[in-house]
């Protein structure tokens, strides 16, 4: 049976090599090199750190390394029991783990306070004395509970992010399905200066949306050495028996400069859009940084030129 000729297969060797080089360059633009910092834990050091903290044998577990933001992570996949364990090699701490061997149907009845107790036991084993200062909250989630432990807000003004926080999912049969913890980075343990008040941050968000009379509230957080206001603007005007549920837009605003760092629109299924919502005043405006837009435009132009050249040469050979 004859197979249709591909335009790329009809290229001369020199053109094919050039085309391949262009496509390879396009792929390399989006790749992120995995480099371990001089002070990062090695794979063996990460394995030794995590092994006593999880109920799984990591001695022979496969390991992968990746860079997310400024931190290097080492992920282990163990078989007995089946678990995925992640270590933050830059901070030198356990980041998360999740069980992979749980049944599809979970039966049982677990009171909320017992679910919190199970999550707290894991946090005490992992964090030690730091877990004693966490405030715990549980909410029902599917076949179990979503447990959140947050550290006290510190600094002036007080903000979250300078003390540990944890999250766990506990099934109704008493199994702790997953656990993750967030630790302040070394350069983020001191409170960053704040020159923008909560009221000013809310006004910045409302002004950007072109809204007046809507509810806005802010919460101060710190990531690394950057303090930011998380401002939520809610649309309550159209809620009601015949209307939709209140919609909201979440802003991240630099607490020292007032610059808008991020903007997300929410819906009943979670954060699904970026940019100005259709129900807000003013023109629609995207939120992709200019560098990312330029990257996608360059890739699209490169692919268009490549395949146009391939098609022209293919037509000439017919």
Q: Which two tokens stand for residue 27?
A: 């792929």
What pLDDT shows up at residue 10?
42
Using pLDDT thresholds of 50, 70 and 90, give the confidence band for residue 236. Answer: low
List pLDDT tens digits, range 90-142: 999 999 999 998 777 678 889 999 999 999 999 999 999 889 999 999 999 88
Locate tokens 């001369």: which residue?
Answer: 12
For the full predicted model, state whether its pTM sits above 0.85. no
Longest Cα–Cα distance of the chain, Å, equals 76
Residue 238 has pLDDT above 90, yes or no: no
- Both ends of the chain: CA-CA distance in Å? 19
Return the minimum-mean-pLDDT range out of 44-53, 79-88, 237-246, 256-265: 237-246
Peptide bond into 79 cis (omega under 30): no
Asked if residue 124 lies in contact with residue 168, where contact means CB atoms within 8 angstroms, the answer is: no
Predicted confidence (pLDDT) at residue 209 exceeds the cutoff of 50: yes
Residue 177 is predicted with a pLDDT of 93
Where do the H-state alpha helices sit in the chain? 13-29, 43-50, 112-127, 198-209, 290-317
| Beta bridge partners of residue 222, listed in sequence order | 227
Per-residue confidence (pLDDT) for residue 22, from 0 to 100: 41
* Helices and strands: H and E segment counts in the chain: 5, 13
Is 156 in contact with 213 (CB distance < 8 Å)? Answer: no
Q: Which two tokens mark 85?
A: 């364990």
For residue 108, the model assigns a pLDDT of: 82
Range picked from 28-32, 168-172, 307-311 for highest mean pLDDT: 168-172
- What is the pLDDT at residue 239? 45
Give me the pLDDT at residue 6, please. 41
State the burial class of residue 212 (Cβ atoms within 10 Å of its Cβ: 0-12, 13-18, 19+).
exposed
Phi, psi of 275 (to 5 degrees): 110, -175
Residue matched to tokens 């834990």 = 41
The arithmetic mean of pLDDT across residues 270-283, rounded, is 43
* Confidence at residue 175, expressed as pLDDT on a 0 to 100 scale: 92
Q: Over 80: is that where the pLDDT of 186 sits?
A: no
Q: Does residue 260 register a pLDDT over 70?
A: yes
- Residues 146/159, Cβ–Cβ less than 8 Å: no
Cα 180 to Cα 28, 92, 106, 167, distances in angstroms = 32, 14, 22, 5
Dihedral angle over CA of 300, 303, 309, 311, nearest 10: -100
Residue 28 has pLDDT above 60, yes or no: no
């Amino acid at each position: 049976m004859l197979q249709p000729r591909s335009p790329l297969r009809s290229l001369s060797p020199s053109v094919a090599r050039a085309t391949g080089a262009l496509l390879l360059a396009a792929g390399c633009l989006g790749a992120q090199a995995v480099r371990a910092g001089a002070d990062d834990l090695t794979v063996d050091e990460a394995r030794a750190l995590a092994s006593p903290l999880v109920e799984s044998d990591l001695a022979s577990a496969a390991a992968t390394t990746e860079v997310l933001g400024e931190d290097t992570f080492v992920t282990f996949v163990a078989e007995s029991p089946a678990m995925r364990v992640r270590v933050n090699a830059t901070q030198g701490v356990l980041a998360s783990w999740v069980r992979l061997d749980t049944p599809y149907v979970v039966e049982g009845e677990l009171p909320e306070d017992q679910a919190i107790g199970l999550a707290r036991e894991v946090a005490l084993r992992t964090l030690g004395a730091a877990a004693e200062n966490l405030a715990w909250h549980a909410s029902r989630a599917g076949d179990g509970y979503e447990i959140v432990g947050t550290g006290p807000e510190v600094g002036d003004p007080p903000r979250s992010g300078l003390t540990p926080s944890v999250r766990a999912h506990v099934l109704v049969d008493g199994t702790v399905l997953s656990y993750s913890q967030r630790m302040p980075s070394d350069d983020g343990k001191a409170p960053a200066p704040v020159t923008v008040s909560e009221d000013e941050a809310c006004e910045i968000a409302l002004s950007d949306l072109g809204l007046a009379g809507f509810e806005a509230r802010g919460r101060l957080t710190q990531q690394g050495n950057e303090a930011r206001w998380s401002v939520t603007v809610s649309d309550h005007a159209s809620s009601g028996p015949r209307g939709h549920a209140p919609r909201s837009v979440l802003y991240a605003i630099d607490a020292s400069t007032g610059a808008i760092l991020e903007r997300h629109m929410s819906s009943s299924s979670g954060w699904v859009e970026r940019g100005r919502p259709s129900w807000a005043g003013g023109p629609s405006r995207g939120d992709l940084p200019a560098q990312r837009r330029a990257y996608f435009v360059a890739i699209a132009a490169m692919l268009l030129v490549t395949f146009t050249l391939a098609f022209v040469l293919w037509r000439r050979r017919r």
